[in-house]
Amino acid sequence: MTASEVKTIVVLGSGPAAIPVVRQTMVNLVLKRDNLKIILVTPNSNFHWPIAMPRVVVPGLVADDKVMIPLAPTFADYPPSKFEFVLGKASSLDPASNTVAVELNAGGSREINYHTLVIATGARARDDMPWKGLTTAEETKQKLHALQEQIKNAKTIVIAGGGMTGAETAGELGFEYSQHGKKEIILVHTEALPLSAPATDSVRKSVKSELERLKVKLIPNSTVANATVQGGDTILELRAADGTTRSITAQAYLPATGIIPNTEFAPKTLLDSKSYIKQTNYLQAEGHKNIFVIGDAGSLETATAGHAEAQAKHLIKALPLYIDGSAVPVYEASDKPIFAVTLGRSRGTGQMGTFKLFSFLVWFMKGRYLGTDYAHLWAAGKKTMSTTFEK
């Protein structure tokens, strides 16, 4: 078989969306054929597990290797003729020539030609926070350890952002510290209540009352307009919705104000107005049938692991059909809100459609372990939240 007869599937990213696709496509398709190969491109040598990060930032609670899991052992058994692991980030993409350029972690760059491309580059947290992986495994660990050290030594800890990450982090820190009067925990959030639509008022009120029970101080209708580090302190300038400002001083500051899609490498024509890659109902990039897009980087659904999982599972079934030239099935996108918010290590709330989830159920399904009991299996591509694959 000559190199030109080999069909190369290039996968960009190694998060919850990408890894099950790599493993399942490898064992069920690539290893069974003599003309297929996978090249995985990612700058992070670890599988990063965001779901547990609100607890991981609390020093001493969760070991690093439960949430930052080396990927190399997952691929150790794949023959080099069938699999290549490239540590680097996609820096540009030319769909006309089926080529992706990669900036290598080790320095230099490389051009990779693909037959089929899977974009699963996800999104990163604002302000270089390790809620998601930073570019490399080393950077992520360093940032996390620095935050844990700040939290350990702080008298006052401020979290900015009333979304799920901010609320869960306030809950974890409140559970560990403020409910026992050990440290002051403050959550600054932009609306009157934590979370935002489509969360119902009832769920949002539960978040507020649970955090207050943990003695977390909530500052509603406000944003952090400026953060200035002065020695061991961070001076935060808060701006309220009515335009008034005030300052508070913290020794640890954790912004949790949203995500930015990792799509800078893609041509502008592929992106929507918020820089997400425009996905068709077949999970293909608009206008490019040989480019599949899954997970947070895509425009079709909100950025949740649940959607990343559903899209990955769909692609695992669709890829073999596509490679063989058959029609690709339609993906049924969902706009029904489903989420669970952990509020400390014993309680939580959440929503399914408009139905509010019981605190005990959220603790039992999510808050007990925050997925750290199965993240290593997800990192191996063998399991997702709802599915255990046969191999």
DSSP calls for 220-285 = -SEEEEEEEEETTEEEEEEEETTS-EEEEEESEEEE---EEES-TTS-GGGB-TTSPBPB-TTSEE
What is the residue whose two structure tokens read 């190369």?
A: 8
Among 10, 16, 177, 348, binds ligand FAD (CB under 6 A): 16
Instruction: Indicate the residue among 132 and 288 with the shorter CB distance to ligand FAD.
Output: 132
224 touches ligand FAD (CB under 6 A): no
Binding flag, residue 42, ligand FAD (CB under 6 A): yes
User: What is the smallest separation between the CB atom of 43 and ligand FAD, expressed in angstroms?
Assistant: 5
Q: How many chain residues bind ligand FAD (CB under 6 A)?
A: 35
Contact between 14 and ligand FAD per CB under 6 A: yes
Does 304 interact with ligand FAD (rule: CB under 6 A)?
Answer: yes
Q: How far is the CB of 327 from ligand FAD (least distance, A)?
A: 25
The tokens for 262 are: 């990792």
Tell me, what amino acid is at 93? L
| 13 makes contact with ligand FAD (CB under 6 A) | yes
Residues from 45 through 64 that contact ligand FAD (CB under 6 A): 50-51, 53-54
Longest dimension (CA), the chain: 70
Site string for ligand FAD, 124-143 (x = CB under 6 A): -x-----xxx----------
Separation CA 325–CA 87 (nearest Å): 31
Distance CA 363, CA 175 (A): 14
The nearer residue to ligand FAD, 151 or 248, going by C-beta atoms, is 151
In the chain, alpha helices (H):
18-28, 53-56, 64-67, 72-75, 137-153, 164-176, 201-213, 305-323, 359-362, 375-379
Judged by DSSP in three states, 349 sits in strand
Q: CB under 6 A: which stretch of 41-49, 173-181, 199-207, 318-326 binds ligand FAD?
A: 41-49
Q: What letter does residue 328 receive in the DSSP assignment?
A: P
58's CB contacts (< 8 A; 6+ apart) are: 148, 151, 172, 173, 176
Name which of 136 and 221 has its Cβ closer to ligand FAD.
136
Span near ligand FAD by CB under 6 A; candidates 8-16, 145-153, 222-230, 246-254: 8-16
| Residue 171 binds ligand FAD, judged by CB under 6 A | no
* One of 9, 10, 22, 41 touching ligand FAD (CB under 6 A): 41
73-92 residues in contact with ligand FAD (CB under 6 A) are: 89-90
Q: What number of H helices and E strands is found in the chain?
A: 10, 22
| 285 interacts with ligand FAD by CB under 6 A | no
How far is the C-alpha of 253 from the C-alpha of 238, rounded, in Å? 13
CA distance 184 to 253: 12
Out of 105, 121, 140, 234, the only residue in the binding site for ligand FAD (CB under 6 A) is 121
* Residue nearer to ligand FAD on the CB measure, 17 or 211: 17
Helix axes 201-213, 164-176, angle to 10 degrees: 20
Tell me how crowded residue 321 is: count the other CB atoms within 10 A of its CB: 12
Residues 262, 280, 299, 384: which binds ligand FAD (CB under 6 A)? 262
Token duo for residue 50: 């965001």
Stretch that binds ligand FAD, among 6-14, 29-37, 107-115, 319-327 (CB under 6 A): 6-14
Q: Applying CB under 6 A, which part among 143-151, 175-183, 233-241, 300-308 lies near ligand FAD? A: 300-308
Summarize as ranges the residues that interact with ligand FAD (CB under 6 A). 12-18, 41-44, 50-51, 53-54, 89-90, 120-123, 125, 131-133, 165, 262, 265, 295-296, 303-306, 308
